Structures are given as C-alpha cells and as structure tokens.
Amino acid sequence: MKPLLLVQILAVIRVGSCIPCSTLESLNITEGWLHPNNSIFQYGIEFKSGSWYEVKENDQTTRYGCPCIEKLCMFKCCPAGQLFYNSTCWESDSMEPFSPPLFKEQEPSALKVDDTFYYLYGRACAQGYLADTGVEELYIQEVSQHGALPLHPPKSYCAEMRTTDLSSPPRLSAIICYPEEVSTDDSYVLYTAYAVGLMLSVPFLLATFLVYALIPELRNLHGMCLMAYCGGLIVAYPFLAYLKLHIGTIGVEMPFCLTVAFIVYYAFQTSFFWLNVMCFDIWRTFSGYRGGGTSKRRENRRFTIYAVYAWGVPLALTAVTAAMQFSD
C-alpha cells in the first residue's frame, strides 16, 4: 500500500511540474499543428516544447499554450476590436483601438507595443476598480517593458481604451483586480486576539459612560462630551470585533458586510470628532473666554453646537462614502 501511495504522490508532483503557466496566462491551442520537434504553431506564435501542456478530462485532451514564456504579455480587458464605453465592452470602428504607448521608466520608448507584448484578450477582472488618469493623453502613469503598472504586477490588472463619449477619442485606463484570496499573513489566532482585545475594552467604556450618566454632578459639558466619545467606541468596537472574527468568510458583495462597515466607519468618525470637540473645549475653558447667559443654559447651547459638528460631519462623510461605494 505504501509503495502505491508513493507512486501516486510522485505522479501528482510530475503532473503539477508539467504546467508551465497559470490558467490565466494560457491559450487553447488544441487546433494548432503539432510539429515533429514537439512545437505547436497557433495564433501566430510557435509554442516550443516546454511552453505548452495538455489537460485530460472526460477522455478528451486539450492543449494549452503559454505565450507569456516567449513574449511579454499584457492583459486586455475586452475582446479584440473592442473598447470600454463607460463600463461595457463596445465594438470599435477602428481596426484595433488598443494601442497604448510604451514607457521605459519615466521616458517614452521607441519600441512599439504590438512588437513588444502579446495581448491576452477578454481578461477582465471578476471584481476590481477603475484606475483612470482623466487626461486626454493615451497613457496611465507608465507601462514598463515588463508590462507592469507602478505597484501592480501584470496579472493584477487589465488595460483597456475607455471613453464615455463615442465622439471623443478614448484614453487608456486600467482595471485593478481585487485579490481573489484574503491575505494569510495574519493568522486566525491573531484576528481572534484583536477581537478579544476590542471586546475587553467595551465593559470599561460602558462603565465610564454609566458613571457619568448616573451621577448628576458629572453631567456637565465635559462629562457629556466624554459620554458621547465613549458611546461611539462602544458601538464601533463590537462591530469591528465581529469583522475580525469573520475575516475571509464575508465580503463586500454581502449587504450585511457593507452595513457593518458603514456603522464602524461612522462610529469611529464620531469618536474622533468628539475628541476634537473636547480639545477645543479645554482650550476655550483655559483661554478665559466666557459667554453670556446662565451657566447651564450656556453649556446646553454649546453642547448642541458641538453635537451638530461631532455627529453631523461624520454623517455627511459617511453619506459621501456610501454614494461613492454604490455609484457606477
């Protein structure tokens, strides 16, 4: 039994080592002609031995070539002859609308993109975000001779000509892909420790809130500001702990995840702004400035002004963030 198991393991290792490129970088070359020297010619490329592989499934053999081994590859979002019109691939009247300039570091290169890169068409990200220069020139920062945008390796984005008006010339944009898998740099134990630490803080924050709420002598202007500050953290910490405990199991496509994210964002913003209010109030108190009216009435009026600022501005920021999240 053990020798048989060893043979199976070696077979798996052998099969894995015969795949020279990822599925994303592979082309179906089953229709290509296999030459006696074990090379296959397809799509204008000669796939030499070692730059293609076979996959057997349901008694059928499919051959895949790896063009990125022999030539630098650039991932194009839309099929050939198409460009982005708003966020949709659209047929272009020109023969090939995709012809970005080539840069070497910061300087334009005399090399032609068509001669330097092999285009892999229709490789749009499942989920990503648009990186657009917003200028008329047909470039986005630099496309280096290694096919990489600054800080983004070739497989992490697809490039495409894009326009919002078919009567105007398109410009080069890129779709930066979201990672398909959550980073495993931090272990689940560490995320659990984060969550436990956050939840341990909540009882003490709640105790502080209740002490100031139940003792009338402490419910002055500073005490009410401190209660508002603690209240924001009391709301934010449990929701943030929930997110830490569910790393990798929830994503932005889930409505509940977005709801929790907006709650955490707003709660932390209010805490920050209440800290800002308390700093200003301490400065105002020690500066010697005194307003008119009775002390209690003056404090209530000032707390109302502080509340509009410390709760209103975060609400406006959250509304802007939500509008940007759900806009096309």
Q: In the chain, where are the structural domains located?
A: 15-70, 72-177, 188-326
Burial call 268-290: b when 16+ CB within 10 Å, e when fewer: bbbbebbeebbeebeeeeeeeee
What is the pLDDT averaged over residues 227-233? 96
- State how far the alpha carbon of 273 is from the alpha carbons of 148, 263, 310, in Å: 40, 15, 5
| Nearest residue to 231 via CA among 268, 261, 280 | 268
Structure tokens at 314: 């975060």
Report which of residues 10 and 239 the model is more confident about: 239
- With a cut of 90, say whether residue 210 has pLDDT above it: yes
pLDDT tier at 10 (50, 70, 90 boundaries)? very low
pLDDT digits (tens, 9 = 90+) for 137-167: 333 334 444 444 445 555 677 888 887 777 7
CA distance 40 to 50: 11
Cβ atoms of 101 and 147 closer than 8 Å: no
Q: Which residue has the higher pLDDT, 239 or 172?
A: 239
Q: Which residues contact 98 (CB under 8 A, 6 or more apart)?
A: 76, 83, 119, 159, 160, 161
What beta strand segments (E) does 106-182 contain?
A: 107-108, 117-120, 128-132, 157-163, 171-177
Share of the chain above pLDDT 70, in %: 71
Is residue 250 over pLDDT 70? no
> Which residues on adjacent β-strands are paired with residue 130?
175
Domain 15-70 has CATH 1.10.8: no
198 vs 84, more confident? 198
CA end-to-end span of the chain, whole Å? 59
Closest by alpha carbon to 89, among 123, 113, 120?
A: 123
pTM of the full structure: 0.51
pLDDT reading at 86 higher than 60: yes
**Can you tell me which residue has the tokens 């047929």?**
91
In tens, the pLDDT along 45-77 reads 788 888 888 888 787 888 888 888 777 777 888
- Identify whether the C-beta of residue 67 lies closer than 8 Å to the C-beta of residue 27: yes
The hierarchical CATH code for the domain 72-177 is 2.170.180.11
What average pLDDT does range 114-122 have in this prediction? 76
